[in-house]
């Protein structure tokens, strides 16, 4: 051990479990368990083809087919876990869809089961464009208005950035022309007017029977163009303005959650009750006991092929204008995408999902370094150290 490490007071112990499912961690299918000790600023890499982990102080040591799980930065007694390549908007649709797939290889902080308000770490206060992962589904808080306050952000996340196509014809109305309120855009492989596409979607939805409670509506939309068969987004930016293809009334207080899964789009519109200062919104599968569902003000129903035992609640406090997300299920399968996570000594463990990997991180004193390093020597093949 060199002199710098002898004098180092803290390190990050990371317990790693890898399961067989290539995209989602499964507690019932764990193949590997091992620990590692990180004492310097480092990048942790993962190869999803070989299922191998590597670590280096330098980002340029990354190799083909590898993803950066996170960067670790040490500052005195604090450790910061940093999400790499955190992006906002995308100029090309293929970049967006590739990035959505890449989100399985990004830093999600797990919410452990909520017991009571004494442990504030088990509560996450949602912000606009936060991304919630529940097993195989990813939900973004796309829009909201609480107590007459619209939390619209001029810099939305996970959205296309499109330009007007002024000298083209719309595939629907066959006309040319473009305006700031009704731009002609290259939405898929086709050029289309915003208003033409919006009306097409409205006509499709109006032709369906909505069986949902009108205070909590699930719009399921097959976002595939009938002309070119390519996917298209429901939300995009053009000329610094956000456009919404789904025509949802936004006069009352509401939450709008969008699934980012790219097969079918699910938009969950939750109309909040103006006569209640607090409301609890359950997110669960339809198999839940009706007595449990009835304890909540609203129910967001997720396909049980996407989630099974997962249960989350969003507690909306209109007085304080907060949205508290809590895991009320029996498993640690609910997490939130984070750009940076700060870990301090003596904190409870930090749990992180990354594709089929579960990482549990602790800050430890240097009097424990020797014992952990002995354990690492027995399993040195699990993480490659690159100099």
pLDDT digits (tens, 9 = 90+) for 70-123: 899 998 778 899 987 666 667 766 677 777 777 777 788 889 888 877 767 789
Distance separating alpha carbons of residues 271 and 273, to the nearest angstrom: 7
Tell me if 96 is assigned to some domain.
Answer: no
Q: For residue 222, what are its two tokens?
A: 């097959």
- For residue 196, what are the contacts with CB-CB under 8 A and spacing of at least 6? 170, 172, 173
Domain residues for the domain of 9 are 3-86+339-386
Residues 162 and 258 both lie in one domain: yes
Tell me if 92 is assigned to some domain.
Answer: no
Residues 225 and 345 both lie in one domain: no
Is the confidence at residue 203, as pLDDT, over 80?
yes
Using CA atoms, how far residue 327 sits from 83, 114, 133, 286, 338, in Å, is 22, 5, 11, 17, 17
Residues 271 and 331 both lie in one domain: yes
Percent of the chain residues topping a pLDDT of 90: 37
Give the pLDDT score at 152.
62
Is the confidence at residue 348, as pLDDT, over 70?
no
Tell me if 222 is assigned to some domain.
Answer: yes
Kindly state the average pLDDT of the residues 138-147. Answer: 91
Q: Are 313 and 296 in contact (CB under 8 A)?
A: yes
Tens digit of each residue's pLDDT (9 = 90 or more) over 275-292: 999 999 999 888 767 778
Is the confidence at residue 346, as pLDDT, over 90?
no
Q: Are 69 and 45 in contact (CB under 8 A)?
A: yes
Residues 282 and 322 both lie in one domain: yes
Q: Are 234 and 277 in contact (CB under 8 A)?
A: no
Residues 116 and 261 both lie in one domain: yes
Give the pLDDT score at 36.
93
Q: Which residue has the higher pLDDT, 200 or 136?
A: 200
Residues 192 and 284 both lie in one domain: yes
Residues 285 and 380 both lie in one domain: no
Cα Rg of the chain (Å, integer): 23
Residues 238 and 273 both lie in one domain: yes
Give the pLDDT score at 322.
94
Tell me if 94 is assigned to some domain.
Answer: no
Give the pLDDT score at 5.
47
Tell me if 95 is assigned to some domain.
Answer: no
Q: Are 174 and 103 in contact (CB under 8 A)?
A: no
* pTM of the complete model: 0.85
Using CA atoms, how far residue 106 sits from 8, 35, 86, 185, in Å, is 29, 20, 9, 31
Tell me if 30 is assigned to some domain.
Answer: yes
Residues 121 and 215 both lie in one domain: yes
Residues 276 and 211 both lie in one domain: yes
> How much is the mean pLDDT over the chain?
85
Kindly state the average pLDDT of the residues 36-59. Answer: 90
Tell me if 164 is assigned to some domain.
Answer: yes
Tens digit of each residue's pLDDT (9 = 90 or more) over 260-270: 875 678 899 99
What residues pair up with 294 in beta bridges, in sequence order?
A: none
Distance separating alpha carbons of residues 245 and 159, to the nearest angstrom: 13
Kindly state the average pLDDT of the residues 204-213. Answer: 64
Give the pLDDT score at 4.
47
Tell me if 103 is assigned to some domain.
Answer: no
Q: Which of 293, 319, 335 is the last residue of a domain?
A: 335
Residues 218 and 125 both lie in one domain: yes
| Count of structural domains, the chain | 2
Q: State the burial class of residue 45 (Cβ atoms within 10 Å of its Cβ: 0-12, 13-18, 19+).
A: buried
Give the pLDDT score at 288.
65
SS3 call for 373: helix
Kindly state the average pLDDT of the residues 234-238. Answer: 90
Tens digit of each residue's pLDDT (9 = 90 or more) over 39-50: 999 999 988 788
Residues 165 and 181 both lie in one domain: yes
Distance separating alpha carbons of residues 142 and 228, to the nearest angstrom: 27
- For residue 76, what are the contacts with CB-CB under 8 A and spacing of at least 6? none
């Amino acid at each position: 051990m060199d002199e710098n490490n002898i004098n180092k007071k803290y390190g990050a112990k990371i317990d790693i479990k890898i399961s067989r499912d290539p995209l989602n961690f499964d507690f019932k299918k764990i193949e590997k368990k091992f620990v590692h000790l990180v004492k310097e600023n480092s990048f942790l890499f993962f190869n999803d083809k070989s299922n191998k982990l590597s670590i280096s102080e330098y980002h340029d040591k990354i190799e083909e087919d590898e993803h950066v799980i996170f960067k670790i930065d040490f500052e005195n007694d604090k450790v910061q876990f940093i999400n790499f390549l955190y992006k906002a908007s995308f100029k090309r649709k293929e970049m967006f869809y590739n990035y959505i797939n890449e989100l399985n290889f990004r830093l999600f902080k797990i919410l452990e089961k909520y017991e009571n308000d004494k442990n504030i770490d088990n509560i996450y206060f949602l912000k606009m464009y936060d991304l919630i992962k529940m097993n195989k589904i990813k939900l973004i808080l796309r829009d909201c208005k609480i107590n007459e306050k619209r939390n619209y952000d001029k810099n939305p996340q996970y959205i296309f950035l499109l330009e007007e196509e002024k000298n083209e014809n719309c595939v629907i109305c066959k006309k040319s022309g473009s305006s700031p309120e009704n731009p002609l855009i290259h939405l898929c492989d086709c050029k289309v007017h915003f208003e033409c596409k919006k009306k097409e979607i409205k006509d499709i939805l109006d032709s369906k029977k909505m069986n949902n409670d009108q205070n909590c509506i699930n719009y399921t939309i097959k976002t595939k163009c009938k002309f070119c068969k390519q996917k298209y987004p429901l939300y995009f930016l053009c000329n610094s303005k956000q456009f919404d293809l789904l025509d949802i009334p936004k006069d009352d207080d509401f939450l709008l959650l969008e699934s980012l899964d790219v097969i079918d789009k699910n938009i969950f519109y939750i109309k909040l009750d103006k006569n209640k200062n607090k409301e609890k919104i359950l997110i669960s599968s339809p198999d839940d006991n009706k007595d449990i569902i009835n304890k909540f003000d609203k129910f967001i129903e997720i396909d049980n092929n996407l989630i099974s035992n997962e249960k989350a609640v969003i507690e909306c406090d209109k007085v304080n204008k907060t949205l508290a997300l809590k895991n009320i299920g029996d498993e640690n399968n609910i997490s939130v995408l984070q750009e940076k996570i700060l870990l301090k000594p003596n904190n409870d463990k930090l749990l992180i999902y990354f594709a089929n990997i579960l990482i549990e991180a602790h800050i430890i004193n240097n009097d424990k370094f020797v014992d952990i390093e002995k354990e690492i020597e027995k399993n040195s093949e699990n993480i490659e150290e690159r100099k």
